[in-house]
Structure 1
Amino acid sequence: MTAYRRYSEIEVGDRFPREPLSFTVTGETVEAFLEATGNPGDRYAVTSEDGTQRAPSMIASVYLIDLLKARASPPGGIHAKQSIRFHRAVNVGEALQLQASIVEKYVRKERNYAVSEFEARGRDGDLVASGVITSIWGQDL
Structure 2
Amino acid sequence: MLQPGQSGDPIQVTITPAWNAAYRAATKDVSTPEEHDGRVVAPPLMLALLGRMAMAWIPVAAGAVHAKQSYRFHRPLLVGEEITVQATILDLFSKRNKDYTQIGVRATFSTGLLLGEGTTTRIAPFRTEGGR
Tell me if TM exceeds 0.5. yes
- Counterpart Cα distance in 2 of 1:39 and 1:55: 10
- Counterpart Cα distance in 2 of 1:96 and 1:138: 34
Report whether the alignment pairs 1:11 with 2:13.
Answer: no
- Between Structure 1 and Structure 2, which shows a larger proportion of helix residues? 1
TM-score under structure 1 length normalisation: 0.77
Say if 1:105 and 1:112, in contact at 8 Å, map to a contact too: yes
Q: Give, as a single letter, the amino acid of the residue that structure 2 aligns with 1:65.
A: R
Say if 1:47 and 1:54, in contact at 8 Å, map to a contact too: no
- Counterpart Cα distance in 2 of 1:77 and 1:110: 13
1:32 aligned counterpart, secondary structure? helix
Q: Deviations over 1:41-69 (max 9, x none)?
A: 89426872xxx432222222221221221
TM-score under structure 2 length normalisation: 0.81
- Equivalences, count: 128
1:57 aligned counterpart, secondary structure? coil
In structure 1, what is the equivalent of residue 50 of structure 2?
63
| Of 61, 77, 101, the match for 2:64 | 77
Of stretches 33-42 and 116-125 in structure 1, the one that deviates more from structure 2 is 33-42
Shift of 1:33: 2.1
User: 5+ unaligned residues in a row in structure 2: which ranges?
Assistant: none
2:47 aligned counterpart, secondary structure? helix
Task: Give % identity.
Answer: 25
